[in-house]
Amino acid sequence: MSSPAEALLKPLQIKHLTIRNRVMSTSHAPGYGSEGKPKERYQLYHEEKAKGGIGLTMFGGSSSVAVDSPAAPWNQISVADDSVIPFFREFSDRVHRHGAALMIQLTHMGRRTRWDTENWLPTVSASAAREPAHRNTPKEMEDFDFTRIIAGYAAAARRCKEGGLDGFELSAAHGHLIDQFWSPSANRRTDKYGGSLENRMRFGIEVFEAIRAEVGDDYVIGMRMSGDELIDDGLSHEDCIAIARTYAERGLIDFVNVLGGQARDHLAHAISLPNMSFPVAPFLHLASGIKREAGIPVFHAQRVTDLATAARAVEEGHVDMVAMTRAHIADPHLVRKLMEGRLDDVRQCVGAGYCIDRIYVGGDALCIQNAATGRERSMPHVIPKAERKRRVVVVGGGPGGLEAARVCAERGHSVVLLERNAAPGGQIGIAAKATWREAMSGITRWLSQQVTKLGVDVRLGVEADRATVEAESPDVVILATGGRPNRGDFKGADLAVSTWDILTGAVEPTGTVLMYDGTGQHHGASCAEFMAKRGALVEIATPDRMVAEEVGTTNQPIHLRELYKLNVVMTTNHQLVEIYPEGNRRVAVLRNEYTHEEEERLVDQIVVELGTLPNDGLYFDLKDLSLNRGETDLDSLIAGRPQPVQANGHGGYTLHRIGDAVAGRNIHAAIYDAARLCKDI
């Protein structure tokens, strides 16, 4: 195959609009909105992609067109009144300056939202059919609802055009109002809007006719839709093709943005946002099927994480634009790197789903491996050179240490990285051992490659102590020594092993195993899955209300699916309070969190996951020798100022501790600790 550049760096013409290449980012909801507006943070996030060479960036997933489709409570965008127009103008200027096109997604979510927020209005839909994901029974739309909502769509469309956007798409996917009408699973009407597919398509057609009338034929309008709802009572692939053809042939839409599945239950939602357990581009065939029939440009997103796959999708004619939305969250400059022949430098999305999992619990989208994404105002994607070159020693080659070494090297410093193990990566190497979590290793792979390319002196298999650190005559010492498993302080804790012991292969899982998970993160669930796959009979117990409670909505369903498939027993609401031996077996005492009744399990092994405790021995050896006594000034750190105590050039060094070496947290925290500190060193 030729270079990805050949297929991807080819403009696409839609009406008057020339999109400079075939790579885009689909509208999504990063939670950066403020008062229903795309303000500076939201704009900078997309501007970075425009700087990075993207052809089209679409913002504002599920931007609202009406008061009964709330958006602001999720820090999203409301296009329901004219006050948004000035923000659109500022936004489009900002993106156009870099040559990219900018569009938004408009929608009415119908029943796929909550009634108990913002305006406290009942939700509406084609029928009073309950939506499982939001536990919400809508009102069946009546005549004036049609008039009001269609007018709302048209007015929102006008606002987009007045705001200088290059176009917009209406969402008719993921079970929004338009596809609620389409899907027989949600539409039970018997009037002209229900029954036959022709009738079910009617509402959407009326919407598009109204917006066409409002913005004219020369404005670019698209539609996001499923290529197959993948449920028995939903839309089939053939239905979807028929819909796309009908809308396209009537001149209502200029592009169709196809995805696979729908999102009305937990697993369906996870499947529609495929994580690292899925192959790349799992639903490309659905977009391809519609491309063959629709006769208009087809866009497609869903786990296209690498440019080679993207190029294949375009080159083989499956789609016209390939969306690399999460890929841009990991690296907003990926197109520029393609243009500059620096494919190796692309920080590839690993599919951890950290970004999207955060937004469904009300957080903002952040990348597990790129601390600058969504923080463009304070964190640079391209690290500027420091004015003064320093000697930096980083101890620890996990994600925090690697990122610290990378950023310091980008700053132009002379960097030594000391890592105790034979390979870099720290705990990522352990996490990646657990079945489908293997792709986590991509985080280490990129960081290691970058530090090597940047000339960091990486010394593996070196246990750092005071002498080895001081032998380097450092100006700055950064300790990213990570943590060690917290084994708990209950009685008999020494009779348990850790998830590290299991995943590293130090202890082979055998017989019956109790996996006790006190964190609710990936660790316990993935270790349980790993052990069950290796033949152990596994029970996972947790004091939480469900297994993997802290894992987000695109990952937890996959954990649960796999654990169920492997017949892992899931025991929730139980605390592990004691372990005692019985022969060469173990007895675990589990106490119900609510009744405080105790149960016992006689098992061959007990595995405990309680997070980590810091490896801080070296830190305390160096603390009193350092100029700043190990203190990172938090005000300077947050303000993006250099630390107040700097190496003075007359011997002595400043000392900083980052990541789990301070307190056990996660990969993003370690990387953000490192990047935030080191960008000002």
Q: List 124's β-bridge partners, or say none.
A: 139
Task: State the number of binding residues for other proteins (CB under 8 A).
Answer: 15
Among 93, 198, 238, 340, binds other proteins (CB under 8 A): 340
User: Which CB sits closer to other proteins, 99 or 581?
Assistant: 99
Q: How far is the CB of 311 from other proteins (least distance, A)?
A: 13
110-118, 158-166, 335-343, 666-674 -> range binding other proteins (CB under 8 A) = 335-343
Q: List 321's β-bridge partners, or say none.
A: 299
Residue 426: left (phi > 0), alpha (psi -120 to 50), or beta? left
User: Which CB sits closer to other proteins, 8 or 263?
Assistant: 8
User: Which CB sits closer to other proteins, 295 or 341?
Assistant: 341
CB under 8 Å to 216, separation ≥6 — which residues? none
Residue 497 CA to its chain's centroid (Å) = 31
Q: How far is the CB of 227 from other proteins (least distance, A)?
A: 28
Work out whether 3 is an interface residue with other proteins (CB under 8 A). yes
Q: How far is the CB of 376 from other proteins (least distance, A)?
A: 15
User: Which CB sits closer to other proteins, 22 or 601?
Assistant: 22
Among 129, 267, 339, 566, binds other proteins (CB under 8 A): 339
User: Which CB sits closer to other proteins, 3 or 575?
Assistant: 3
User: Which CB sits closer to other proteins, 3 or 414?
Assistant: 3
User: Which CB sits closer to other proteins, 12 or 149?
Assistant: 12
Give CA–CA dist 170/106, Å, rounded.
5
Cα distances (angstroms) measured from residue 431 to each of 100, 438, 475, 538, 631:
38, 7, 33, 19, 30
Q: How far is the CB of 406 from other proteins (least distance, A)?
A: 20
Q: How far is the CB of 467 from other proteins (least distance, A)?
A: 32
Tokens (6 digits) for 294: 């629709």
Nearest to 381 by CA among 334, 444, 432: 334
Q: How far is the CB of 341 from other proteins (least distance, A)?
A: 6
337-345, 373-381, 508-516, 638-646 -> range binding other proteins (CB under 8 A) = 337-345
CB under 8 Å to 395, separation ≥6 — which residues? 401, 417, 418, 464, 469, 477, 478, 479, 480, 481, 618
For residue 395, which amino acid is it? Answer: V
User: Which CB sits closer to other proteins, 21 or 275?
Assistant: 21
Q: How far is the CB of 455 from other proteins (least distance, A)?
A: 11
Nearest to 29 by CA among 238, 251, 317, 263: 263
Work out whether 345 is an interface residue with other proteins (CB under 8 A). no
Q: Which DSSP state fits 491?
A: B
Q: How far is the CB of 337 from other proteins (least distance, A)?
A: 11
User: Which CB sits closer to other proteins, 10 or 89?
Assistant: 10
For residue 70, which amino acid is it? Answer: P
Which H or E run includes 271? helix 266-272
For residue 538, which amino acid is it? Answer: V
Cα distances (angstroms) measured from residue 158 to each of 2, 365, 378:
42, 29, 34
Nearest to 407 by CA among 372, 365, 376: 372
Reduced to 3 states (helix: H, G, I; strand: E, B; else coil), residue 644 is coil
Burial of 568 (0-12, 13-18, 19+ CB in 10 A): buried
41-49, 92-100, 122-130, 166-174 -> range binding other proteins (CB under 8 A) = 92-100
Residue with structure tokens 């796999």? Answer: 562
Give, as ranges, the residues between 93 and 152 that touch other proteins (CB under 8 A): 98-100
Burial 394-413 (b: 16+ CB within 10 A, else e): bbbbbbbbbbbbbbbbbbbb
User: Which CB sits closer to other proteins, 37 or 46?
Assistant: 46
Residue with structure tokens 């996870």? Answer: 270
Reduced to 3 states (helix: H, G, I; strand: E, B; else coil), residue 468 is helix
Give CA–CA dist 204/210, Å, rounded.
10
User: Which CB sits closer to other proteins, 122 or 317?
Assistant: 317
Give, as ranges, the residues between 4 and 33 that touch other proteins (CB under 8 A): 5, 9-11, 18-21
124-132, 289-297, 334-342, 411-419 -> range binding other proteins (CB under 8 A) = 334-342
What's the full length of the chain, in residues?
681
User: Which CB sits closer to other proteins, 10 or 285?
Assistant: 10
Q: List 58's β-bridge partners, or say none.
A: 103
Q: How far is the CB of 418 from other proteins (least distance, A)?
A: 25
2-10, 347-355, 489-497, 500-508 -> range binding other proteins (CB under 8 A) = 2-10
Among 86, 295, 317, 341, binds other proteins (CB under 8 A): 341
Give CA–CA dist 145/430, Å, rounded.
55
Q: How far is the CB of 497 from other proteins (least distance, A)?
A: 48
Q: How far is the CB of 16 from other proteins (least distance, A)?
A: 12
User: Which CB sits closer to other proteins, 11 or 644?
Assistant: 11
The DSSP code sequence of 9-57 is SS-EEETTEEESSSEEE-----S--BTTB--HHHHHHHHHHHHTT-SEE
C-beta of residue 511 within 8 angstroms of C-beta of residue 536: yes
Residue 412 CA to its chain's centroid (Å) = 31
Give CA–CA dist 366/362, Å, rounded.
12
User: Which CB sits closer to other proteins, 129 or 339?
Assistant: 339
> What angle is formed at CA 164 by the lines to CA 160 and CA 167, rounded to 5 degrees?
55
Work out whether 617 is an interface residue with other proteins (CB under 8 A). no
User: Which CB sits closer to other proteins, 333 or 668?
Assistant: 333
Q: How far is the CB of 480 from other proteins (least distance, A)?
A: 29
102-110, 172-180, 338-346, 622-630 -> range binding other proteins (CB under 8 A) = 338-346
Tokens (6 digits) for 349: 């999305």
User: Which CB sits closer to other proteins, 18 or 473?
Assistant: 18
Q: How far is the CB of 393 from other proteins (least distance, A)?
A: 25
Q: How far is the CB of 229 from other proteins (least distance, A)?
A: 36
Give, as ranges, the residues between 583 and 602 that touch other proteins (CB under 8 A): none
Q: How far is the CB of 185 from other proteins (least distance, A)?
A: 42
Q: How far is the CB of 222 from other proteins (least distance, A)?
A: 19
Contact residues for other proteins, defined by CB under 8 A:
3, 5, 9-11, 18-21, 98-100, 339-341
